[in-house]
Amino acid sequence: MNYKKIDSQDISYLKTAVSPDRVFTGEEISEDYGHDELGGVFSMPEVLVKAMDTGEVAAVMSYASEKIIPVVVRGAGTGLVGGAVAVHGGIMLDTTAMNHILELDRENLTVTVEPGVLLMDLAAYVEENNLFYPPDPGEKSATIGGNIITNAGGMRAVKYGVTRDYVRGLTVVSPSGEVMRLGGKVVKNSSGYSLLNLMIGSEGTLGIITEAILKLLPLPSRTVSLLVPFGTMESAIESVPLIIEAQVQATAIEFMERNTIMFAEDYLGKRFPDTGSDAYILMTFDGNSREEVERNYGRAADLCLELGAKDVFLVDTEERRQSVWNARGAFLEAIKASTTEMDECDVVVPRSHVAEFIKYTHELAGTSGMRIPSFGHAGDGNLHIYLCRDDMDQEAWEYKKQDVFEKMYAKARDFGGLVSGEHGIGYAKRMYLDEQCGPCQMRLMEGIKKAFDPHCILNPGKIVALHGK
């Protein structure tokens, strides 16, 4: 596709569509806008536009559609697969200033927000009102818009589900600049094709979200965690399907290795409650009565001890809670700080195969000579596995990284798994999506992209290539 290069006339128009002081070019644009959290994909936009409302977004898209200029929407930039990188230049549309909570509707248990609202700010706001927004991805500084377009999951997915389960309605600007309102505050909807659900997880390739109506729940009155050490990672993870089968209603079931915990200790400069075991399961239980929560975590603790756990630590004080969950929240940054460069494998496999898959990554670490730490959501099979460059030269790193990725994704397919559990495909993982889905599914996805975006101007080169290669 021959996209139009930005010229002075385009800049002049954009400065009329939004305030001139929110249009940036050349050296005015920080290099931070050229990459996401991991930095493996780098490309600078030709112009950066900071939008403030739906009307401005629509004006920019209408012009871009007419001129065939590529547009990439960007929130907090916390993605890991190059999804918000302007690989074809053009316009980058920053929506972080669209960060207002517009309405709390107690009667319908919904909250209406703009896409730039941060997850941590939304969670705090609804909790102050004795309400609860369950999706809980590890990166709390991500925007709600980013969570929606990647269908983010997180630690509470095992009980409460993922972002898709909490999106009731969206205001979306199409690639042509038209404004659509999809869904609403209704609980049920069987009215034609679900364009709402197509937007969720579309990674900004089909439309631009400018408002979202989100479902809320009453805030649980009590939450307790258990930290359970095991002698081996296999014994730790193999306990998870049995815990779930016992119907103890855990809110979250996380796994972590000792080395990853040690990275977090070094990174934070704070001690973890226990580091004497090779592997740990971290479980959380919530509910509206002490009896309900104690019954569930008590059954889980007894079962873990029967399955060979070395001990069970109750995380029920604020000091312990901060120690454990601050460390868990720092795992990504801690691993990143421990190496010169890293990349991530974000696979999801059936819970029954999690232990086998982690064992396989240990084998790959040995045969490749590459350090491969991991952690993840044992309760839903979503694994976060990190390939660390350390002191490898660039050529060896690129070769080994590609080889290890291909082997891990092939093993995930063998187990009936999928290429991404919650971080999306973006630019970096497209080839693995092709291998997973096959020609028929890819043709259907390409057809959906063409129907929404015939000129392929919105986040081109992501998920499906088409003419935005």
Binning pLDDT at 50, 70 and 90, where does residue 469 land?
Answer: low
pLDDT-derived band of residue 465, with 50, 70 and 90 as boundaries?
A: confident
Contacts of 116 (CB under 8 A, 6+ apart): 75, 95, 96, 97, 98, 99, 143, 144, 145
pLDDT of residue 467: 55
CA 398/CA 383 separation, integer angstroms = 22
Stretch among 116-120, 150-154, 315-319 having the lowest mean pLDDT: 315-319
Q: 168-216: per-residue pLDDT in tens?
A: 999 999 999 999 999 999 999 899 999 999 999 999 999 999 999 999 9
Do 142 and 118 meet the contact criterion of CB atoms below 8 Å apart? yes
Question: What is the percent of the chain where pLDDT is above 90?
Answer: 91
Within its chain, how far is the Cα of 310 from the centroid?
33
The stretch 71-97 carries a mean pLDDT of 96
Question: Residues 331-368: pLDDT tens digits?
Answer: 999 999 999 999 999 999 999 999 999 999 999 999 99
Q: Are 465 and 430 in contact (CB under 8 A)?
A: yes
The overall average pLDDT reported for the chain is 95
Distance CA 295, CA 347 (A): 33
| DSSP, residue by residue, 105-163 | ETTTTEEEE-TT-BHHHHHHHHHHTTEE---B-S-TTSBHHHHHHTT--BTTHHHH--G
pLDDT on residue 40:
85
